[in-house]
Amino acid sequence: MGLAQQTEEAAGVTLPNVRDIVLVASGKGGVGKSTVTVNLAAALRNRGLKVGVVDADVYGPSLGLMLGTVDQFLVPAEGGKVVPFMTHGIHSMSIANTTPAESPIVWKGSLVAQGLLQLFVDVAWPDLDVLLVDMPPGTGDVHLTLLEQLDVSGAIVVTTPQRLAVADAERGIAMFHELNIPVFGLIENMDGYLCPCCGERMELFPGGAAKTLAKMKHVTHLGSLPLDSDGQACADGGVPLIDKKPEGEVAKAFASLGESLVKALARERSAAASRVGHEEEDAAFWNELLGD
Ligand SMILES: Nc1ncnc2c1ncn2[C@@H]1O[C@H](COP(=O)(O)OP(=O)(O)O)[C@@H](O)[C@H]1O
Ligand SMILES: [Mg+2]
């Protein structure tokens, strides 16, 4: 069965307070999805947007630690919902906050879907401009569930410069393309290392593969982020790196990524608005073009 058929049911869940849902995805784990989610959220907050994040990485939830909410307790809200956490001006909810830290999160496929959707539906989200979703690596059940049930505006794919990571990012982009989910762009993380002494940028891995992939898949190469020696301490200490070093190179890169995302969302909205009422013409055009 094709991917499109597997998600052909209409989006089932509406989040009336949330304008745009953007997935932060990758092929490989450890490439920096959670780092990008947290710092992009902070960069959007710096632009005056109201931002939320959901940690949907059932296999390795990190946002509780990275946003400093691991020791906080969920507070009930009206209608059986819970109030999302709020740290650093960012609203958040993580799968980790719903299970004790020492317990493994072992869920069968159907329970994954149910548990994940609760992070969206059973939370009293305030009005949000953007809700970023930190996805698990790869292209699996979680992706299909969220794309089937939520009205997702688009996705950002994170990779590192290594060809192994880029090859897996290609699968991620292909999945979104097959499911007609706009890919706002590719972010290349760990592209070089910033010397903690002099700030000079040193090459770590041979580059070029991510830019080639972006070109080949017709997605925007949104930008490159260097490795910053403070990244780890910030993540473990629950502080976005760009808040700790607002004048640093990483903060500048995230400011530009935030601007690109806001522009991409605006373009997508106006494209969607111009398509309203033309769905049949659009379908006929594409069918003719694709020879269906
Ligand atoms: N640009 C960066 N500079 C410094 N450390 C980084 C950077 N990107 C990621 N890291 C660190 O690398 C590790 C993996 O990143 P993470 O965001 O958790 O990846 P993922 O969510 O894709 O598994 C984390 O410890 C994080 O702090
Ligand atoms: Mg992560």
CATH of the domain at 26: 3.40.50.300
- Residue 173 is assigned to a structural domain of this protein: yes
- Residue 2 is assigned to a structural domain of this protein: no
State yes or no: pLDDT of 78 exceeds 80: yes
Tell me which residue range forms the domain holding 29: 15-290
The confidence score (pLDDT) of residue 282 equals 64
Which ligand is in closest contact with the Cα of 55? 2
- Residue 4 is assigned to a structural domain of this protein: no
Interatomic CA distance for residues 146 and 118, integer angstroms: 11
Q: Whose CA is nearest to atom 27 of ligand 1?
A: 232
Ligand 1 center from residue 20 Cα (angstroms): 25
Ligand 1 center from residue 14 Cα (angstroms): 31
- Residue 75 is assigned to a structural domain of this protein: yes
The confidence score (pLDDT) of residue 206 equals 78
State yes or no: pLDDT of 249 exceeds 60: yes
- Residue 1 is assigned to a structural domain of this protein: no
The residue assigned the tokens 């990779």 is 159
Vertex 176, ends 173 and 179: CA angle to 5°? 150
Interatomic CA distance for residues 96 and 205, integer angstroms: 33
Q: Whose CA is nearest to atom 6 of ligand 1?
A: 231
Query: Which pLDDT tens digit goes with each residue over 82-130?
Result: 999 999 999 999 877 776 666 656 666 667 788 889 999 999 999 999 9
Query: Which pLDDT tens digit goes with each residue over 208-233?
Result: 899 999 999 999 999 999 999 999 99
The residue assigned the tokens 């020696």 is 229
Can you give the pTM of this predicted structure? 0.90
Whole-number mean pLDDT of the chain?
Answer: 89
Query: Which pLDDT tens digit goes with each residue over 139-148?
Result: 888 899 999 9
Half-sphere exposure of 265 (CA within 13 A, CB side): 21
Domain count, the chain: 1
The confidence score (pLDDT) of residue 250 equals 95
The confidence score (pLDDT) of residue 124 equals 96
Q: Which ligand 1 atom minimizes the distance to the CA of 226? A: 1
Ligand 1 neighbour 33 (Cβ under 6 A): yes
State yes or no: pLDDT of 180 exceeds 60: yes
Query: Which pLDDT tens digit goes with each residue over 130-166?
Result: 999 999 998 888 899 999 999 999 999 999 999 899 9
Q: Whose CA is nearest to atom 15 of ligand 1?
A: 32
Percent of the chain at pLDDT exceeding 70: 88
- Residue 106 is assigned to a structural domain of this protein: yes
- Residue 100 is assigned to a structural domain of this protein: yes
The residue assigned the tokens 């209608």 is 79
- Residue 242 is assigned to a structural domain of this protein: yes
